[in-house]
Structures are given as C-alpha cells and as structure tokens.
A and B are shown apart, each in its own frame.
Chain A
C-alpha cells in the first residue's frame, strides 16, 4: 500500500484541533503544576516533620508509578468521592499532579546546588536579603534549574498523549479515531508524531534562548538530572 496523501489534507484540520487541545492541556497543567512543585520543594525542606513527610510521600509516589495508572486512578477516584468533572479537566489535574512531583525535584536540586557561601558572601558585602536573592542566588539558580525544567515540560507534552486513554479528545485520541475510520494507521500516527516532534523542538529551542538571555555570563556549575516520563 502506498502513502495516501489525501488523508493529510482531509484529516489535517481535525488533527490540528486535537493539537490545540494538547497544547491547552499542557499549558494549564504547567500553570498549576509549577507553583505546586515550588510549594512541594519548599515543603520537603520544611522544619515541620509532618509537612516534610507529606511532601516527600507525594513526590515519591508520583515519581514511582506509571502515569497511565495515576490517570485512571484519579479518573475513577474523583467521582467515587462525589466530584464529577469532565475528562478534560481530570486530565489537566492528573498531568499537573504528575508534573509537580518532578518540578519539585528539579527546584529542590537547584536550591541545594547553590553553595551556602554565595548567600553569606552577599551578606558580607552588605547586601540585604532581597538584594542577595535578586542579584546573587536567583541568577545562578536559574541557570541550574532551567535546563531540567525544560526537559520536564517537554515530558509533559509527551505524557499528555496518555490522556487519550480516558477519552480526552487530544491529538493522540484524534489520530486513533481517524485510523479507525480510514484504516490508514501510518498516515494518522506519523502525522501526530511529526507534530509532537515539532512542538518538542520549538519548545526546546525557545527555552534554550530564554536560558541564554537570562543567565548571560554566569557559569553553569552543575547540571541536574531528573528524569521525567516518556
């Protein structure tokens, strides 16, 4: 069987609608997951043992289970306790919870990679707390945190494909439907694979630019490795 190019033209618009939903879901999940991740990272360093334990447990549980089962469990648990949400919102919540656990580890790593002497020296030359943070600690921390943070965002794009299993009409679900209607799996899946790839590269290049603009000449001391999903 040859390549049926008309599939790309006939079904392209529907795929793009799914693509748009994928982007919306990921952006929302990052918008919720990143602040939650900051909170978890700080909670894990808290002096309150209970808070520390709760944050650690949350992070470890979400990092050590497959995303697909987190999605299913959240999908069934919410109505079990009387909370009925559309699949799309369940998907955003699941992706945000999953992302926050990894974001937390990236941020914690960034804070811990900072030598204590940096803050102390800043105080020694007469900087206030906010000045020290603004001019010494943060510019360096950004250089350490941004690359793994970018990886984490990219992995959320990829994990969002799994939301198709709970009937969210994102890009992968759309392709599954189209292959069911046309019996043209190659065209359907290669189309979305290329779009995911494109999105991945665009975000990666954009974040690298941002990183260069923000960090300027500060040397990158450590690179963190925190692995996200697939």
Chain B
C-alpha cells in the first residue's frame, strides 16, 4: 500500500470539527478543575479539619496512583449501576475534572509556597482575615505564581481528552476513528489527527515555557 495523502485532506474538515470539540471539552475541564482545586486548597490551607485533610491526601494519592482510563471507566460504567444516569459527556467531564484537580492542587501548593510569609502577617496586621485575606491577598498571588504550571497542566488535559473517545464522546480522536472505519485508511487519517494534536499541544507548551522564562526574569 502507498500513503495516499488525499485521504488526509478529505478528512481535514471533519477533523477540524473534532478538534473544536476537543478544545471545548478541555477548556471546560481545566476551568472546572481549577475551581475544584482552589476549593480543595482552601480546605487544606485555611481550615483545621484534619479528617478532610486526610481524605484529600487519599484522593490525591488515588488519582495519581491509578490510570486516568480506569478512572474514566469507573465513573462511566458505575454511575448508571448506582442509579445516576449522567451519560458519557458528563461522566467524561467529571473524570477529567477529578483527575486534573488532584494535580492542580499540587501546583497551587507550589504557588502558595512562593507567596512570602510577610503577606499573611501584613494582611493580618491590617485586620484582614477569612475571605478577604484569602480572596484578595493570598489567592491572587498564588494564581499568578502558578500560571506557567497551569498552562502546562492544560496540555495534559488536552491530551487526556483523547481518552474520552473510549466512552463514545465524539471528539477529535473519535471523529478520526469514525472516518477510517468507513474508508479503511487509518494511517492517512490518523496522521492528520496526530498532527492536529501536535500543533495544539506544542503551541500551548511553547507558550508555557515562554511564560516561565518571562516570569523568572521579572522576579530577578
């Protein structure tokens, strides 16, 4: 067989649509993950609930110790059995969010560590506490310090969404599978898909690297 590039070109319009879905899902995933991780960070850093801290540690260890694919299957196949009919899309978003949040919590921990102690002391000396202390003083600085790592995390989420093809979500990977099961030219179609993922991920990870050097320069 010869590589016939016309099959790649024919597939392109539909692959673009798939890529758009991939971008939407991944952006939704990272946004939800950031919200969840911020909440979990507040629980860990601003409360003295030891039982919650312990559960959080187990959650992070479980997520980091098991394959994302298995987490996706757990949520997708188990939710209808326990009476939650949430469908593949919600199950997929939930799995991606729960997975990414465990990593984002660790990123935010790093960002928080870079906020000088004097910020806490100064804010407390001014009489700030609770929501004002965290929401207006500490968290904004934590987020800014975490930006490069968070952009990097986005590439991870972008790649992770390809696994959702296994639970029938029609994103880029699934679209390409639909095309080549019909025209029997998997190599040509998958090459197009491969390049599309590469362009998206490479652009984002280059941006992350540049942000990191720029922020280092600013600190120096």
Contact = CB atoms under 8 A, between A and B. Distances in A.
A193 interface: yes
Contacts of B61: 197, 201
B201 interface: yes
B69 A161 contact: yes
B9 interface: no
Interface string B146-173: 0000001001100111110110000001
B194 A73 contact: yes
A64 B70 contact: no
Given A73-B190, A161-B69, A66 B62 contact: no
Contact of A193 (B74, B191, B205): B74
B132 to A, nearest CB: 33
A186 interface: yes
A179 B77 contact: yes
A65 B159 contact: yes
Nearest to A158: B67
Contacts of B78: 185-186, 189
A65 B194 contact: yes
Contact of A185 (B81, B160, B162): B81
B89 interface: no
A12 B74 CA distance: 18
A76 interface: yes
Interface in B98-138: 99
Given A64-B197, A186-B78, A196-B66, A229 B190 contact: no
For chain A, the bracket of interface size reads 35 or more
A120 interface: no
A230 B68 contact: yes
A224 interface: no
A61 interface: yes
Given A61-B198, A179-B77, A161 B159 contact: no
Contacts of A72: 186, 190
Contacts of A190: 74
B81 A69 contact: no
A200 B66 contact: yes
Interface of A: 1, 60-61, 63-70, 72-73, 76-77, 80, 154, 157-162, 164-165, 172, 175-176, 179, 183, 185-186, 189-190, 192-193, 196-197, 200-201, 227, 229-230
Given A68-B173, A201-B61, 13 more contacts: A1-B81, A66-B173, A67-B159, A76-B190, A157-B67, A159-B67, A161-B70, A175-B70, A175-B73, A186-B74, A193-B74, A200-B66, A230-B160
6 contacts: A64-B198, A80-B1, A172-B67, A196-B67, A227-B152, A230-B99
